[in-house]
Structures are given as structure tokens and as C-alpha cells.
Chain A
Amino acid sequence: MPNRVAIVGIGQTRHQNTRLDVTLPEMINEAVRAALADAELSLKDIEAVFTSSMETFEGIYLPDHGGAAEIGTYMKPGFKVGTGGTSGASVVVEGFSMVSGGLYDLALVIGFEKQDCGETTAAITAAATPIWGKGAVTGAIGEFAKQALSYLETSGAKEEHAAMVRLKADRGACLNEYSHLKLGLKSIDEVLQSGYLVWPLRMLDFCPQSSGACALIFAEEKKAKKISKKPVWIADVEVVHQEPFRAGTFGDPTGKETYTQHVACERLYKRNGITKPMKDIDMAELYEPSNWEEMSLYEHFHFCEKNEGWKLVEQGVTEIEGAFPVNPSGGVIATNPIGATPTIRVAEAALQIRGDAGGHQVPKDIKTALATALGGPNWTVLTLLKRSL
């Protein structure tokens, strides 16, 4: 039997675009300290450290290699995980697997990204190889722009619905002390008047470039119960990778391609007896780089039928005080230190279960929460969290 694993420590930096006051390891150190303080542990207690970020986003390979002391890896086992946009969730799966498998009883898991170093869109565009896709330079934004166009043309959603998603995110972000963009947006018109970035995506339809880190401490059952009064259990994880869509990276106009979100959530739901996701799960933290993608994800994860994601928005179901809150933290569209972003999804979902989310704590009692990650050629990583197993 694998060991049960709980999150016993959660820490993150205040995310912002520019952190010229610290080096990358110093920035990571802030999250590590916060997680250790939350768990009332010291670095001596940690047996292994796993980290993740987007390769080359800071302009060099292994941007963290000078920071063993600050990060906590000094003389400890562990490694860095890189799976593109899902990295920060892959590292959660990695830490979970190691503790669950009994290799370590207490592990530190870190996602980080310091985007103020330079040209991260150039780094992400470099994922198109020189021999295939050269010159197709639209970064991740161009892919989400095409996804938005497909959704706009086929689902029945209007631009107003995307604007409503953006307003929901901003309301959450303004209540979240760690979030990056706190815009205080008041009206749909305000969103619809923002300029185009990559048509039909507007500046306010897409996530910012943030710098920040998020650290989690995982413990096996006995230690978890000793360390924490409110351990949050990792009930299950799922990882699905895919070839690049022949039909599109984040949207499929043919209806013939297999979405990794479908495969991943169907496997996860089946193993955990989830038949009605919006009833059996209490809330979700989704990886939504754009407001249009959030509506698509509602459908991909079977919260609703196809082409009905925008109806959930219209009905306010996914608002903080709604029946099924999604991204009360403000989500990725407000805060995106990419390597840390999926780790933050898990952290935020865990905080909701503990009741410790602060200003953006949802009013409803959260016993089960889903954290998702997306990246690369439509890869998906899921983490299911529970208050008790």
C-alpha cells in the first residue's frame, strides 16, 4: 500500500512583475521560509527537495543552480522537473510519488519563475523547433487566440462572457494578498475597451508575466498528523501527455482530436468515484491563461456540457460565493509566474480546504478541491485534494 501523503506547509511570495530587489534564489527563499514557518519546521527536518521552472525563461539553463543554500537543496537529494507549463504540477506529482512510495517522509516541493529577467515570450516561442514551425511567432498567446476564436465562433459565447470571467478573476485577485494584477475592474465595457494583443485576445484577456515562487511541504501520514492540525491530503494525481495537436494546440476545430483534459479527468474521476464533478468536488483552481480558456476548461473537465461553459459564467455558478467556486484566488490571468503557477493552484486549493485562504476564502465549506495544470501541446496534470481520506 502506498503511504498517504498530506500537504503540511504552504508558502508563496507576493507575486509581481518585477523583483529587482532580490536574486532568483533569494526570491525562492521567501517562499521556502513561508512554507517552513507555516509547518513550524526547519530546513533540517526536510529530507528531499524537488523544484520546477520553465527552462531558459531566465535566459540561462538551470537558473537556480547557484542557490542551493537559499532553496534548501544543499546536501539533500532531489531534482528539478521541467515539463513546460505543467512543470509546477509535475513537481507536485514528483514529490507526492516520492513520499507516497516511502523514499522520503518529508519533502519540500517548489515552483518558481522570475520573469523580470527578460524575454520569456521568446523562450516559449523557442519551443517551436527551428526545423518545424519556424517563424510562426505568436508565443503561447497566439495559440490561445486561436482557441478563443474557435470558442467564440462555435460555442454561442459572446465577448461579454469572457469579460465577465475577467471581472470575476479580478474580484478574487483584489482580495488575495499574494496576487499580481489587482486592477479593480468595474464593468464589462472596461474589459471590452482594452486593446488587442493578439486578435481576438485583448490585453485584459491574457495573463501577465509575473515573478514569484510557491513552496509546499509534503509529509507521510504519521508525520503529517504530528506536524499539522489541518493536513490537506493528496487524494490522487493524474498526468496525461499528448503529441502536438495536428489541429491546434489548445483548441480543436475538427472535434476529432483527443483532449488530454478529457482523458485525465475521466481517469481521475473514475478512480475516485466522482460522477458529478460539480457536486462531488467543492471547488477548483484551474490553470487558465486566458478568460476564454477558462470557459473551455469548464467543458473539458465535465463541469458542464460542451458549449455551455459560458452559461455557468452567466449564472454566476463559479463566483467566489457561487455553488462551485473556480479560481477564487484570481487565477492565472491575474498571476502567472509560470513555473510556480500550477504549484500555486495546488496551494490555493489546499488553503481553501484548510479555511486559511484569507480575503478570498470561499463562504462554502470546502472538503474536496481540484487543481489543474495545462501546458505544452495541451498536456494536463491534475491534483485532487481532500480534508480527510
Chain B
Amino acid sequence: MAKKNPKEKNTKEKEPEYISVQFDAPRKYRWSTGKYMGRTYQEAKENKKLVANRCVKCKEVLWPPVEVCGRCKVEAGEDWVELSQTGTVMQYTYLVYPLWDPHYGEKFANPYPNAMILLDGGVYIRHFLEETDQKKLKVGMRVQAVWREDHERGEGTADVKYFRTIDS
């Protein structure tokens, strides 16, 4: 019989106990919507419209609406356009594992799939899909915005609850 290595006895060290401190950090913040996005918030809340400004130079629709066109490096201006509320799903995903949401302060798996939707007219919007049956989700599916109730609105593009599947 092989002799036991005397060192082997000591290899099972006691698990050290480390001291750590736990803390929660609830904080309150306030963000202004600014000169341009404020308009988008207002139109969504009052008129259930999605609006964006166009660059005066290149005529690209800027979404989210902004003060300066990054490509032309000019003041984008006040050429406001209304975006279509129907579009085509180009990418999508859905949460399987719950994640912490800093905006709501809780951990949850949002039941609604998250999608990149190409609105008719050529602007992309990152939003949710009403359809939760994974088998029915497809790249290329046609969808339409569904708005929240009057008293629920005031949160910009989140005033759209999700996009509902429509016949193509």
C-alpha cells in the first residue's frame, strides 16, 4: 500500500470567512427632455403621434430627435415630421433570464419581446412586441403601435405600449 503523503492531509484548508458589507442605493433623479425630445414627448402625450426633426442639410430624419446632425455637423433645425406607426420587425429577442431594470428598480423578465422595428418611411424604433408566442415571431412580420391610455401617457416613446401584429 502506498504511503500517504503527509502534506496531503493539510491540503483541505478551512474555507476562509471574508467580511463584506451590503448596501442598497435608492436614489432619485430628474432628467430634462430638452428642446427637441421635449417636442416628441408632448406629441406622444397629447396627440398619440411619433414626431422627429429632419436635418436641414441632408434631410435625414433624426431619431431620436436631436439638436445637431452628427453627419453634417450643423444645427439640425425645426423641420418636424410625423413618423409612421406601422412597420416591419427586423430584429427581435426575448428575455429568458430575469435582469435587473434600473429604471424600475426590480428584477424581472419582461414578457414582451424586444424588437428593432423599421417604421414605414425608413426610421427604426427599438420597442416591444405584443406577441409573446415565440413560434409566431418572425423577422419581416408587420406591426402597428398600440398607445397607452390617456392618463398613462407622458413617458415619450414608452407611451406606445407595444407593437401589435397586423396582416401584411
Contacts and interface: CB of A to CB of B under 8 A. Distances in A.
A135 B104 contact: yes
B31 A129 contact: yes
A243 B20 CA distance: 40
Nearest to B64: A132
Interface stretch (A65-73, A142-150, A180-188): A142-150
A130 B154 CA distance: 12
A122 B99 CA distance: 7
B158 A149 contact: no
Nearest to B94: A199
Interface of A: 20-21, 59, 119, 121-123, 125-126, 128-139, 141-142, 145-146, 149-150, 153, 195-201, 243, 246-248, 251, 253-254
Contacts of B20: 20
A130 B103 CA distance: 7
Contact of B101 (A137, A150, A153, A243): A137
A197 B110 contact: no
Nearest to B95: A198
A201 B155 CA distance: 30
Mostly, the A contact residues are loop
B114 A136 contact: yes
Chain B at the A interface: SS class: mixed
B39 to A, nearest CB: 12
Contact of A254 (B37, B118, B155): B118
Q: Which size bracket describes the interface of B in this complex?
A: 35 or more
18 contacts: A59-B23, A122-B102, A125-B100, A131-B156, A132-B156, A135-B101, A135-B158, A137-B99, A137-B101, A137-B103, A138-B95, A142-B95, A142-B114, A153-B139, A198-B93, A201-B93, A248-B116, A254-B124
Interface in B90-138: 90-97, 99-104, 110, 114, 116, 118, 123-124, 126-128, 134
Contacts, number: 117
Contacts of B41: 131
A311 to B, nearest CB: 23
B37 A131 contact: yes
Interface centre among B23, B100, B156 (most CB of A within 10 A): B100
Contacts of A201: 93
A253 B37 contact: no
Given A122-B99, A131-B33, 8 more contacts: A126-B102, A131-B31, A131-B32, A131-B156, A135-B110, A248-B116, A253-B139, A254-B118
Contact of B99 (A121, A131, A195, A247): A121
Contact of A199 (B93, B116, B155): B93
